[in-house]
Amino acid sequence: MIALPASMRVFERGWLSANNVLFVDGEQSALVDTGYAAHAPQTLALVQQALGARRLDLIVNTHLHSDHCGGNATLQAAHACATLIPASEANAVRDWDEEALTFRATGQRCERFGFTGTIAPGATLTLGGLAWSVLGAPGHDPHSLMLYSADERLLISADALWENGFGVIFPELEGESGFAEQRAVLDLIATLDVRAVIPGHGAPFADIGRALDAASSRLDYLRADPARNAKNALKVLIVFKLMETRAMSFDVLLRMTEAARSMRAAAHMLAAPGELPALLAKCVGELARSGAVRVDGDTVFVA
């Protein structure tokens, strides 16, 4: 069990919704990341149960993938809270460019939200009465940020470091650099004095050295053959959508893959366009054998 400051609480959410970190002290209440849109009512209930009659003052987003900001709109409507987003995403949110924000590119959804301010690497936030340094964490997402408390030796790592890996390296799917950036982020984390990491998914953990070793090995594995990253991305996006819808016909899954830019890019790294149905059948078959999904006729179900 990781010891946390009294002003800090982690809601571990699973994989459709990212973890939420709630801070409450005498000055302010704040929530780091808000989960996926399908779980927004649950996120609101968790926050309200924890706050009681008190309102939520602030949302902070580490990055704007749909599983980290999908509850923003619901919480803003309920609490009229201020919201800080990565500065490099400000124009995309202001214009609500769903393609730039990756919602459409990944076949996911997010209700439109606004923001009141931005944060960037080098900034310092006060959350729960503690100073948190804002650190850049590109790799998984070019705009992603981490939060580090030197006093408490805690790192909110988002999807830059999990206990057993990290998030999909999305930029590499479309010919942009991501592996080198992820390596730099792992190297940065290794320089920090950290007693515990609060990841975007999974339980907080304390064995930082083991996690960094595992992440480094995985990065080397993916970098040696970028098709491995593409295949992982395609499988992750399939399972994510199934976690929301619970079931999809193969034809619907095929159309979604053709329409969603990130899924299509991943598929095109693995097979010619005319071979997409066979590629999806292979990926679904592998997911079924691993126990992640099950197949009944032409319908794929989340396991």
pLDDT of residue 59: 99
pLDDT(120) > 90: yes
Asked if residue 2 is part of any domain, the answer here is no
- Give the gyration radius of the chain's Cα atoms: 19
pLDDT, position 191: 98
Residue 18 has pLDDT above 90, yes or no: yes
Residues 25 and 58 both lie in one domain? yes
pLDDT, average across residues 140-158: 98
Are 86 and 205 contained in the same domain?
yes
Residue 219 has pLDDT above 90, yes or no: yes
Between CA 31 and CA 23 the distance in angstroms is 6
- What are 115's two structure tokens? 């923001």
Q: Pick the last residue of a domain from 224, 257, 290.
A: 224
pTM attached to this predicted model: 0.97
Looking at 194, 224, 254, the residue that finishes a domain is 224
What mean pLDDT do residues 30-50 have? 98
Residues 275, 180 share a domain: no
| Count of alpha carbons within 13 angstroms of residue 115, beta-carbon side | 21
**Do the bridges between strand 117-119 and strand 124-127 make them parallel or antiparallel, or are there none, so unpaired?**
unpaired
- Within a domain: residue 1? no
Domain C-terminal end among 180, 196, 224: 224
Mark whether 109 and 255 lie in a shared domain: no
The pLDDT, as a whole number, for residue 187 is 98
The answer on 246 and 105 residing in a single domain is: no
Amino acid at the residue 138:
P
Looking at the structure, tell me whether residues 13 and 86 fall in a common domain: yes
- Assign residue 238 the CATH number of its domain: 1.10.10
Angle between helices 250-259 and 276-290 (to 10 degrees): 120
Q: Tell me which H or E stretch contains 86.
A: strand 82-86
pLDDT at 99 over 90: no
- Assign residue 49 the CATH number of its domain: 3.60.15.10
The per-residue pLDDT for range 232-284, each reduced to its tens digit, is 999 999 999 999 999 999 999 999 999 999 999 999 999 998 999 999 999 99
Helices 250-259 and 261-270 meet at what angle, rounded to 10?
100
Tell me the C-alpha to C-alpha distance, in Å, between residue 77 and each of 17, 56, 62, 74.
19, 11, 20, 5
Conformational region of residue 156, where left means phi above 0, alpha means psi within -120 to 50, and beta covers everything else: beta
Number of domains the chain contains: 2
Residue 147 belongs to a domain: yes
Residues 132 and 146 in one domain: yes
205 and 242 assigned to the same domain: no
* Residue 176: closest CA among 139, 125, 134: 139
Residue 239 and residue 178 share a domain: no
Asked if the structure places residue 51 within a domain, the reply is: yes
Q: Are residues 67 and 109 in the same domain?
A: yes
What mean pLDDT is predicted for residues 10-18? 96
**Average confidence score pLDDT of the chain:** 97
- In a domain, residue 153? The reply is yes
Mean pLDDT of 52-71: 98
pLDDT tens digits for range 202-211: 999 999 999 9
- pLDDT tens per residue across span 67-92: 999 999 999 999 999 999 999 999 99
Predicted pLDDT of residue 124: 98
pLDDT above 90 covers a percentage of the chain that reads: 98
Residue 80 inside a domain? The answer is yes
What the block records as the tokens of 106 is 């990944």
Asked if the structure places residue 160 within a domain, the reply is yes
CA distance 146 to 260: 27
| Distance (Å, whole) CA 126 – CA 26 | 12
pLDDT at 273: 86
Residue-range definition of the domain harbouring residue 249: 230-302
Using the predicted structure, report yes or no on whether residue 141 has a pLDDT greater than 90: yes
DSSP three-state, residue 55: coil
219 and 241 together in one domain? no
Q: What is the pLDDT of residue 60?
A: 99
**Start-end of H helices in the chain:** 40-51, 66-69, 72-79, 90-94, 179-191, 208-224, 226-245, 250-259, 261-270, 276-290
Claim to verify: residue 270 and residue 147 sit in the same structural domain? no
DSSP-derived letter for residue 56 is P
Predicted confidence at residue 1, as pLDDT, reads: 82
